[in-house]
Structure 1
């Protein structure tokens, strides 16, 4: 999620929070192609899946790195564990919705 987040950042996440496009969220991604589980990940909500509006498309802030919905497809609502609301350490700050350029 660089440049927004960096390895070692400590985040505050809220379960049950409403989710909207551009939110940073904690998700459970589907297994990799070998069937092995992936770790819990932090992703950006890109929006609803146009073919299945009950599902979410996720993205990475770094287009050169990370797993996105282009790799794993859209995610069920139950795969979204929590919305990240703040970075606690080392650079405290609220994580609002990223503004579009």
Structure 2
């Protein structure tokens, strides 16, 4: 089953985004629904993504599925190849990635993940509980951190 991502794109019309030089149009939100990026991302995680950002090997990206372009998916950009990017999920048991559909053309890669926000589950309503959640839930999505650990484990 493909990784489904719900993405809320910023407003494209006139307004605050244009007044601030398009800053709001450069960022968006995506929600992860399936386990193809476990352990890096869990179902229910929210991603703050940056549209048009430069993609480097190891980055987590949002892209259009090559066979169903109305479906957005989250994968790791592994390697630059002729014609686009080789992408894979971090979960070795889910093969809905370039192993199944091949190289993804550049025009289908629409954003790079910037920050992961894990929704609160069972958080105590105390100040300490909320602070503990913030420290563990809001993290930058870095290329080298989980990608290199995954490669060393094999």
* TM-score of the aligned structures, taking structure 2 as reference length: 0.57
List aligned pairs for 1:1-101, cutoff 5 A. 1-31=37-67, 39-49=71-81, 52=82, 54-90=83-119, 91-99=137-145, 100=148, 101=152
Paired residue total: 94
What SS class does the counterpart of residue 98 from structure 1 fall into? Answer: helix
Alpha-carbon deviations, 1:76-100, whole Å to 9, x = none?
A: 1111010001012331100011342
Higher-Rg structure is 2
Distance 1:65 1:28 in 2: 17
Task: Give the structure with the larger helix fraction.
Answer: 2
**1:57·1:73 contact (CA, 8 Å) conserved in 2?**
yes
5+ residue gaps, structure 1, are none
5+ residue gaps, structure 2, are 1-36, 120-136
**1:30·1:38 contact (CA, 8 Å) conserved in 2?**
no
Q: Which runs of 4+ in 1 moved over 4 A?
A: none
- Residue 63 of structure 1 and its aligned partner are, at CA, apart by 0.9
Superposed CA RMSD in Å reads: 1.5
- Residue 37 of structure 1 and its aligned partner are, at CA, apart by 5.4
What SS class does the counterpart of residue 100 from structure 2 fall into? Answer: helix
Higher relative contact order (CA 8 A, sep 6+): 1
* TM-score of the aligned structures, taking structure 1 as reference length: 0.85
